[in-house]
Chains A and B, each alone.
Chain A
Amino acid sequence: MARQTDLQPVAGGGLLDRRLFLKRGLSFSVAVALAPEALASDEERLPWMQKPGEPFSNYGQPSLHERKTIRWTMGNSMAPGNGVSWTPLQDLEGIITPSGLHFERHHNGVPQIDPDKHQLLIHGLVSKALIFDMQTLLRYPMQSCYSFVECGGNSNAGWRDEPIQTAVGYFHGMASCSEWTGVPLRTLLDEAKVKGRAKWLIAEGADAAVMNISIPLEKALDDCLLAIYQNGERIRPENGYPLRLIVPGWEGVLNVKWLRRLHVTNRPTMARNETAKYTELLPSGKSRQFTFVMEAKSLITNPSFGHKLDRKGLYQISGLAWSGRGKIVKVEVSADGGQTWAEAQLQEPVLSKCFTRFRIPWQWDGEKTILKSRAIDETGYVQPERDALIAQRGRHGYFHYNAIVSWEISPEGSVSHVYA
């Protein structure tokens, strides 16, 4: 049983000690608090207990009852392969995004690549230009990294004058997290022997846009990965099959899908996606360029827009935090619009440049209130309030919006997005 002291708030608005749900003996009282008024059925044997179930399947699919857990797609009507699809963060838990729900940003559709015809070329400022086919790459020692990929344009609705009223995935879901497995990029660059004056690497994909982008060599030699597997299976076509560059913690556009060429150079190529796009206009009229790192961000995914709290009582607030600079060290949650904050529990293991799940118990008193979360990473960077971010960057940068997200809970239990 919960002792009365366990249910004492640790911050305003009814936030409780983050360890509450972890304590032995508390699960029962919590279950009672959350139990529905009536059971769904009192039949002794429900229909699926009265006949044999479905046979085996070659590739498992989600339950037919989870058909609403999908990527929302937004293609250009004139060019259906140019657009995005969003991860439904509001429907997911834990830290790994199912591969079929990983967000997409394509510039001209998903190429259907025959792996037997796919090759990777490394050339430029190297002692020997090398070419690798997929069978050869599969012979190399592999490593895994758990890494989020986030589009530089994720959360850009936050710059708007009015808070967008849409599911959290349709607002912040151009971010996903996977286990990526493949060959460290450094292994192949070392094999080709990079020359001393090299400073950049231009990566290019084998899609219809032949998308390319420049990456500092320093990062390429640090922790980049030539990924062949995603969440244990070969990468899905829409995520770069058969080969994708993973650039942990940096803008999604650098994580070139369908990777076919790496050009080692002494300067950037000044591609469209590092000049006209993925640069951020400041109030001065100047623009920030090469803003690679995705700064720390957090958001409460449950409850969030579209969820409904059916009564006052005990809830678990759950959300995601991540930082392109390294590990998340702390996430604080407020249930009184930012007046007081309490530390949330971080799900172990907490990994660098990876989604980090946070949770905290909350006793909702049925009154109108505002929920917020803020992330702090291992460099000491604190996720900013929206006003502070706009004071620094203006409102026309489009990319790199990472301000604190506020959800207002109405007395009826509905959740809306507010600037607060």
Chain B
Amino acid sequence: MFMRNLLFCFCLLLCHAAQSANVGPNLGKPAPENLVKSWNIDVFPDGEGLPEGSGNAVKGKQVYEAYCLSCHGVEGSGGSADELAGARHSLTDNPPDKTIGTYWPYATTIFDFTRRAMPLDAPGSLSHDQLYAVTAYLLYLNGIITEIDVMNAQTLPKVQMPNRDGFIRDWLPQK
């Protein structure tokens, strides 16, 4: 029994040693709150992180035609870049059509990705109103909302995407 306890203590020490090997000199500076606020552009499916602003598909069509159409094609398909709308096949057809309407599980992702990365030649240049409007237009093209539905921080997270339950998590937390 004594030996077993001793062994247990030894194991504890080893674990402790492994952890303390990561101790650093603690040189990080406190990040000012306004810096965190301006850098943090993460948007979550429940709407956390969505900024103020709004727009509908009617306005979004103008944004799309000015900034997106040249790569993504008329009404979201037939361009050189990813097909966004106009699926003619389902996910079980050969070949399957993976568009926003058939595949994307969360509407908030459209806003988040467009704000981060689009348009490719001038990322970050669209206003929040323009971003909500073009998001609304893409949802409208996919038959998910109407042309006059207004998208904003409250309405966008409530949009039910057709493929919302289409994903199986391969990785699960170990605990």
Contact = CB atoms under 8 A, between A and B. Distances in A.
B96 interface: yes
Interface in A152-185: 183-184
A204 B167 CA distance: 23
B16 interface: no
B120 A79 contact: yes
Interface in B101-136: 103-106, 108-109, 112-113, 116-117, 120-121, 123-124
Contact of B71 (A79, A183, A204): A79
B23 A210 contact: no
A27 interface: no
Interface centre among A270, A281, A289 (most CB of B within 10 A): A270
Given A209-B116, A210-B123, A288 B170 contact: yes
Contacts, number: 163
B167 A122 contact: no
A199 B173 contact: yes
A260 B40 CA distance: 11
A369 interface: no
Given A187-B23, A270-B45, A129 B36 contact: yes
Given A131-B29, A283-B92, A288-B168, A216 B173 contact: yes
Given A210-B41, A285-B91, A289-B168, A271 B24 contact: no
B24 A276 contact: no
Contacts of A370: none
Contacts of B22: 184, 186-187, 190
Contact of A191 (B28, B113, B120): B28
Contacts of B124: 210
Given A132-B27, A184-B22, A218-B174, A263 B117 contact: no
Nearest to B27: A136
A123 B104 contact: no
Interface centre among B30, B35, B166 (most CB of A within 10 A): B166
B59 interface: no
A99 to B, nearest CB: 26
B170 A123 contact: no
Contacts of A275: 104-106, 109, 167
Interface string B28-48: 111101011001111111000
Given A263-B40, A263-B42, A141 B109 contact: no
Interface string A123-140: 100001111100010011
A123 B28 CA distance: 12
Contacts of B42: 202, 204, 212, 263, 265, 269
B5 interface: no
A123 B40 contact: yes
A107 interface: yes
Contact of A281 (B40, B91, B108): B91
Interface in A253-287: 260-261, 263, 265, 267, 269-272, 275-276, 279, 281-287
Contacts of B116: 209-212
A286 B168 contact: yes
B171 interface: yes
Q: Which of B25, B33, B80, B120 has the most CB of A within 10 A?
A: B120
Given A131-B35, A269-B43, A270-B109, A209 B173 contact: no
Interface of A: 76-79, 81-82, 107-108, 121-123, 128-132, 136, 139-141, 183-184, 186-188, 190-192, 199, 202, 204, 208-212, 216, 218, 260-261, 263, 265, 267, 269-272, 275-276, 279, 281-293, 396
17 contacts: A76-B81, A77-B80, A78-B70, A79-B71, A121-B36, A123-B36, A123-B39, A136-B28, A136-B29, A209-B123, A218-B175, A265-B42, A271-B113, A275-B104, A284-B92, A285-B91, A287-B91
